[in-house]
Structure 1
Amino acid sequence: MKRKLDLRSGTPVWFAYNVRTVATAPLQRDIKTEVAIVGMGISGAMMAEALTARGMDVVCLDRRGPLKGSTPATTALVQHEIDQPLSVLSEMIGIGKAQQAWRRSKLAVENLSSRIVDLDISCGLERRPSLYIAGNVLSPTDLKEEAAARDRAGLRTRYLTASELKDDFGIERDAALLSQGNLELDPRKLTASLLRIAAQRGARLYAPVEVGAFEAGKSGVTVATKDGPTISAQHLVIASGYELLDSVPEANHSVVSTWAIATKPQKAKLWPERAFMWEASDPYLYLRATADGRVICGGEDEDFTDEALRDELIGEKSARISEKLKRLLPDIDPEPDFAWAGSFGTTPTGLPFIGPVPRKKNVYAVMGYGGNGITFSQIASEVIAAQLSGQKDSDETLFGFNR
């Protein structure tokens, strides 16, 4: 059984844009497959596309249906910068591992961009620079050290003084780091397209299907469902986001509540290059723009999972985010046109757990995404696709459950 969560509430801005329906079928009988994937959000969709690209027989299951979990709640700042600054992560796990985690994240963003282009997916893909702004976690001096750490890892970053930040972007803050090559996209359009591509290659999509207990062994995995039919698979991949199956360890994983708003379109008032922005603060503010000129802004994260309390705070948190947005960008109309709340998983290091589940033969899982959910989902699709093909990913131990 899953540890169920009400993953979001309110109305995310992505529902303002039409997305083609993803066809699913009811599961009415026992079936067999090479790989069963639990979850049809962004991580499950990426996994299904990657595995079907390798010619694997895939079945996707979801207790709600495609795109109905936490995927629409993301603000979709697809960045290579991990939540944990490189200079800080180096102290936590060592310089070599920290540098490799950041480099792999950068590679994942590049691979995702290429993947979208090669598959001719229309999801509003655009390249955007990113501004990491000094705050109560990293001062200007700390940002200089962070820039140096990134440079040593081969990750190009430019340190901006207060005057440079004001001149180049109109932002009045003490300092910032400027990086390039991050991705702006519509997460619902991307997820739906990946699922449709997988289905065109033969993947079978079943929903609503609630997964119950499963038995894992050397010969494969037998998955029971709440309504009776079973799935016999050679491998099981748990891509259920922040609703984990009971058999997946919760160690070093916690769920956090977050809030976000989106303004009305106001293209004329947007800042140079529509750069992503996020603060080196706790709690931090993060923002981006949409193609039609809306400003998406989120933050005010809190470490609790009470969905009722989270939802009660939408009004208060939205007002606070709106006020912060106005202080950062005085020319923007910060009035929310959309407001929503969501839950996401995180780990102390900010790195995800990806790979074989301990003591569960032929079972794989992805958990703990932080603010890099889409980037880490890309890494997961690469790592697990390689593992299921009998290959070794060079970074699998970096993200593994036994690290």
Structure 2
Amino acid sequence: MKLHNGTLYWPTTNSIELIVKSPKQPKKQYDAIVIGGGISGCLTAFRLLKQGLSVAIIDQRHFGHGSTAANTGLLQYSNDIMLSELIQQIGEKEAIRFYQLCFEALDDIEKIVNELPHEVDFQRRPSIYFASNQSDAVKLRTEYEALYMNHFPCEFWDESTLSFYMPFKKPAALVTLRDAEINPLKFITSLLNYLQDHGVDLFEETVVTDTSYENQLVQLKTTTHLFQARDVVYTIGYEKKHNAKKDDATFKRSYVMVTKPIQSSTHWHEKAMIWETKRPYLYLRTTAEGAIMVGGLDEKLSEATVDKKMIENYAQKLLKETQSLFPHLELEVDCCYASTFAESKDQLPFIGPHPTKPHHYYVLGYGGNGTVYSALGSKMISDLIAGSENYDAHIVSPQRKVETDSLPFFSIA
């Protein structure tokens, strides 16, 4: 499955070299094998390594060539489903706890970044979530009260306050503090270097063809070797094979446009990340190189289009929307691409053990906050594999239920 098409931005910024030194033969047995070498896989391998386990990562592509290369690198504790909405969906206690997990995940990512040997452009930023229309201003006020009452750092801006800090007028905005941005490709390239240097075996261009459970070990048949492990973790992002069936998740495609570097970000409050209440939503961030990265215009089609002209047309639409927010800037498209992503029906990730296959686990960060979900998911999975109690795992369990559905969400072949 082709996860993206067009001209990607992050590869043009990544000067970190990764030389994969795969052993000629895998170990006779690993404690854990991670399938998928993107952000979810690397974070999971990092956690398992810290548990003292022997770990291998298998990727069907070259590392960094999957969804991570198209990831826009926004890290937020707020989610596509607002806290006030999530409270109605799963109850106050668990909704607040899920938001706390997302907030804690940002700190966890920063701690990991500080252990890495390279700069990965991690920067704390506020996020400005503006009301696309007047009625949404009321929703944002309700959300602000839910966040503030539960001690999440945030502010509520009315129209005049927003226009003071930014060059556009909108009815209101919710500002969340202590969010962050990152260069996702630099992040995993540096992380893979760290993992390899600390004993994690890396195998790229290795496709898993069959799995079984024999003699208390997971047997993985691949196009290159036979692997054995006590546990296996699928961190396969938006790959449909071995993933949730269509009733569990919606696969879509989105578009991203990156401008040429701008001369000044004056009147852009603290280079905040920006998004809006309408759906599908527009979102924006600046980059370390001085460009503006803009995403949106989601479509209910799972395959990233290969039509170059279509991608360029969507880029011009994104450019036009960006120019309407920042009329004082001279903007020009530099890169543009289409990419595949997925959302679960309840807007939460799928993290946990397979319901019937022993020692098979999943970290699937479906939704607009996938990197944060990957961070909290890797922590949960490492606890479960180590035999430690994780009191939050049920919130994102693949077998969870919601009021509108009496059957488990998740189903894996």
2:255 aligned partner: 259
Deviates more, 1:214-223 or 1:25-34: 25-34
Q: CA deviation at 1:226?
A: 2.8
1:66 has 2:63 as partner:
yes
2:410 aligned partner: none
Q: CA deviation at 1:28?
A: 5.6
Q: In structure 2, which of residues 10, 34, 38 is the aligned counterpart of residue 14 of structure 1?
A: 10
- What residue ranges of structure 1 are gaps of 5+ in the alignment? none
Q: CA deviation at 1:251?
A: 4.5
2:409 aligned partner: none
Distance 1:310 1:74, change over 3 A: farther
2:237 aligned partner: 241
Q: In structure 2, which of residues 368, 393, 396 is the aligned counterpart of residue 396 of structure 1?
A: 393
Q: CA deviation at 1:154?
A: 2.0
Q: CA deviation at 1:119?
A: 3.7
1:184 has 2:167 as partner:
no
Could you say what secondary structure the match of 1:370 adopts? coil
Q: In structure 2, which of residues 292, 304, 309 is the aligned counterpart of residue 295 of structure 1?
A: 292
Asked whether the equivalents of residues 27 and 207 of structure 1 are also in contact (C-alpha less than 8 Å), the reply is no
Q: In structure 1, which of residues 53, 56, 63 is the aligned counterpart of residue 53 of structure 2?
A: 56
2:105 aligned partner: 108
Could you say what secondary structure the match of 1:268 adopts? coil
Q: CA deviation at 1:304?
A: 1.3
Percent identity for Structure 1 against Structure 2 = 28
1:275 has 2:272 as partner:
yes
Q: In structure 2, which of residues 100, 123, 126 is the aligned counterpart of residue 126 of structure 1?
A: 123
Asked whether the equivalents of residues 259 and 317 of structure 1 are also in contact (C-alpha less than 8 Å), the reply is yes
Using structure 1 for the length normalisation, give the TM-score: 0.93
Q: Deviations over 1:195-243 (max 9, x none)?
A: 111111111001110111100357120011134x210110001011111
Aligned pair count reads 398
- Distance in 2 between residues matched to 1:366 and 1:238, nearest whole Å: 6
Asked whether the equivalents of residues 129 and 274 of structure 2 are also in contact (C-alpha less than 8 Å), the reply is yes
Q: CA deviation at 1:137?
A: 9.8
Q: In structure 2, which of residues 94, 97, 102 is the aligned counterpart of residue 97 of structure 1?
A: 94
- Distance in 1 between residues matched to 2:332 and 2:273, nearest whole Å: 19
Asked whether the equivalents of residues 323 and 334 of structure 1 are also in contact (C-alpha less than 8 Å), the reply is no
2:85 aligned partner: 88
Could you say what secondary structure the match of 1:18 adopts? coil
Q: Deviations over 1:241-275 (max 9, x none)?
A: 11144376555222110101111111414412100
Asked whether the equivalents of residues 218 and 362 of structure 1 are also in contact (C-alpha less than 8 Å), the reply is no
Q: CA deviation at 1:126?
A: 1.1
Q: CA deviation at 1:115?
A: 2.0
1:219 aligned partner: 216
Using structure 2 for the length normalisation, give the TM-score: 0.91
Deviates more, 1:106-115 or 1:62-71: 106-115
- Distance in 2 between residues matched to 1:360 and 1:86, nearest whole Å: 33
Asked whether the equivalents of residues 117 and 194 of structure 2 are also in contact (C-alpha less than 8 Å), the reply is no
Distance 1:389 1:251, change over 3 A: farther
Q: CA deviation at 1:184?
A: 1.5
Distance 1:267 1:124, change over 3 A: farther
Distance 1:196 1:14, change over 3 A: same
Asked whether the equivalents of residues 137 and 280 of structure 1 are also in contact (C-alpha less than 8 Å), the reply is no
- Distance in 2 between residues matched to 1:250 and 1:201, nearest whole Å: 38
Deviates more, 1:176-185 or 1:84-93: 84-93
Which amino acid in structure 1 is aligned with residue 321 of structure 2?
Answer: K
Could you say what secondary structure the match of 2:340 adopts? strand
Distance 1:308 1:168, change over 3 A: closer
- Distance in 1 between residues matched to 2:299 and 2:78, nearest whole Å: 21
Deviates more, 1:133-142 or 1:84-93: 133-142
Which amino acid in structure 1 is aligned with residue 366 of structure 2?
Answer: Y
Which amino acid in structure 2 is aligned with residue 75 of structure 1?
Answer: T
Which amino acid in structure 2 is aligned with residue 401 of structure 1?
Answer: P
